[in-house]
Structure 1
Amino acid sequence: MGNYNSEYESYYNSLKKGSKTRYFPSYNQSFNYNNIGKSKKNYWLSRIMRDLVGVLILFIIVLSCKLIVTPKTQAVYNYSKQILNQNYEYTNLKEKCKNIDIKNFQDKITNIIEEIRSKVTGTETVDNKIKNEFVLPIAGIETSPFGYREDPITKEKKFHEGVDIDVKENTEVKASYDGRIKICGEDKELGKYILIDHGNGIETKYGHLNEILVGKEDAVKKSQIIAKSGNTGKSTGPHLHFELLYMGENKNPDEYFKIAKK
């Protein structure tokens, strides 16, 4: 069974107690082992059918949240993703699935859903919208790509959720597209940073800033100057850390923007 949260222990105990009354007849009735076997079979069959129906309903809900993007449906989608990412131990399943590229599979499913949504609503797919209408926030050379890399400070292998663009300190940083400032913050990793919500589940993040020129909830336009680049946070030199997100998941900016390479 593996490890499971202690909050479920009473649930499993109740199943065990319930199984006794379900499987064993009253002593006043004739004892028939064939009936016991049939009862067990019917019980497990109904349990399996119920669980499958539950999974189907959850799939329909998540699919609907992908097709119809609003703040509420995005919250439901992110919560469902959080539940699925809980640290349960399914060692055997991990062994069987370790060679499957889940990220690639997920991207393919997302693209299929986007194509369906585009045909139904008559609008551009998210991929095409970003490629055709969004702009790179700053001009410079990409020094660190998206994906796993050796951390320049700790030397540990970590996932880099965006791209680093080499620019001089206090270079003007522009908004990639129209949107609303979701967060103006500062932390030990990104230093001063901005997160912009562009609608339709698309967001962009700008990190290691020296100066922030907008405030939370401000409406911004495409190419509007929102900040000046810097060297704040965990950084080895002045640059802009730029992230592209869709429905809370990081995308590779190199697939959407033409960024100069070394």
Structure 2
Amino acid sequence: MGHYNSEYEDYYSSLKRKSGVRYSPYYNNGTDFSRRVKEKGNFWVRRLTTDLIGVLILFIIIVGCKLVVTPQTQGIYNYSKSVLNQNYDYKLLKEKSETINLTNIQEKILNVIGELRSKITGKETITDKIKKNFILPIEGTETSVFGYRTDPVTKEEKFHEGVDIDAKENTAVRASFNGKVKACGQDEQLGKYIIIDHGDGIETKYAHLNDILVKKEDAVKKSQVIAKSGNTGKSTGPHLHFELLYMGENKNPKEYFNIIKK
């Protein structure tokens, strides 16, 4: 999931610093080499220990769900049991691993965690919450999809982090859901834009606006008119650029909203 907001860059950098990896200009020195080998060995011992502890914790949780019977714990136990009872074609799994997509795997892991969390707490998953409660900020047809595309201005292959929805200038743009205005401003690429924080790590972004009708820190309600669509920034015509983000990662809005193709 390689597309994230720049504000998360420090966080990812800190993870790298905490990894314990160090590069020495004296790699060929025997003492330093031995130390590096020892450090690497210690790393794998710690990693294996951590993984085993994680498996033990999961085992305890599953056994606990079997002993303490409630609708939530029974759901978790049945789900875990169905996963373990699956018959896997390991040859096929090996073949698929050669073309593995880490982004999709991480996405699926997050979905499984979300489902387990939902079963434990009784709350809906993030996906269900968005699909059930959020709305498209404007009515119109999709003119540019999420993902890699030929940039309409530079003609280069670039990643498009949202979808473009056709709209005449000064069409009302509505908040997709309740939240607080995290940022609003203007830059060369997006023109005038608004970012709304909806809680639970969910954010939406609205760009190429003509007018912004809210300010930073404002509380907004679902369907509230927050802006007027326009043609500001790097744009070839009037439209709304709309992004959906979860934990700083851009998501494909079409997986959550019913967007009409042009």
Q: Same fold (TM over 0.5)?
A: yes
TM-score (norm. length: structure 1)? 0.69
| Equivalent of residue 50 in structure 1, options 23, 28, 46 | 46
Instruction: Tell whether 2:156 aligns with 1:149.
Output: no
**Counterparts in 2 of 1:55 and 1:194: CA distance versus 1, 3 Å:** farther
CA distance, structure 1, for counterparts of residue 186 and residue 47 of structure 2: 44
State yes or no: 1:17 paired with 2:13.
no
Q: What is the DSSP-based 3-state SS (H/G/I as helix, E as strand, rest coil) of the residue aligned with 2:231?
A: coil
Deviation at 1:8, TM superposition (A): 3.5
> How far 1:50 sits from its partner (Å)?
3.1
Please give the secondary structure, in 1, of the residue aligned with 2:155. coil
Match of 1:244 in 2: 244
- How far apart are residue 133 of structure 1 and its match? 0.5
Question: Equivalent residue of 2:170, what SS?
Answer: coil
Match of 2:221 in 1: 221
Task: State the 1:121 CA deviation.
Answer: 1.4
Tell me the CA shift for residue 260 of structure 1. Answer: 1.6
Q: 1:186 to 1:52 in 2, by over 3 A?
A: farther
When structure 1 is superposed on structure 2, of 167-176 and 48-57 the one drifting more is: 48-57
Corresponding residue number in structure 2 for 1:253: 253
**1:105 & 1:152 partners in 2: Cα distance?**
31
> C-alpha separation between the residues in 1 aligned to 2:52 and 2:187?
40
Structure 1 residues 143 and 46 mapped into 2: Cα distance closer, same or farther (>3 Å)?
A: closer
| Partner secondary structure for residue 182 of structure 1 | strand
After superposition, residues 63-142 of structure 1 pair within 5 angstroms as 99-142=99-142
Structure 1 regions of 5+ residues with no counterpart?
Answer: 23-39, 59-96
> Which residue number in structure 2 is paired with residue 206 of structure 1?
206
Residue in 1 aligned with 2:178? Answer: 178
Could you say if the C-alpha distance between residues 238 and 148 of structure 1 is closer, same or farther in structure 2, counting changes exceeding 3 Å?
same
SS in 1 for 2:215: coil
Structure showing greater Rg? 1
Q: Tell me, yes or no, if the aligned pair for 2:26 and 2:32 is still in contact at 8 Å.
A: no
Deviations 1:34-63 (A, max 9, x none): xxxxxx8x88754531354478899xxxxx
For structure 2, the 5+ residue unaligned runs are 1-16, 55-96
How many angstroms apart in 2 are the aligned matches of 1:43 and 1:257? 49
> Any idea what SS the aligned residue of 1:148 has?
strand
Q: 1: distance between equivalents of 2:29 and 2:116?
A: 42
* Partner-residue secondary structure (3-state), 2:138: coil
Which residue pairs with 1:88 in the alignment? none
Deviation at 1:14, TM superposition (A): 11
1:98 and 1:233 map into 2 onto residues whose CA distance is 41
Compute the RMSD of aligned alpha carbons. 3.1
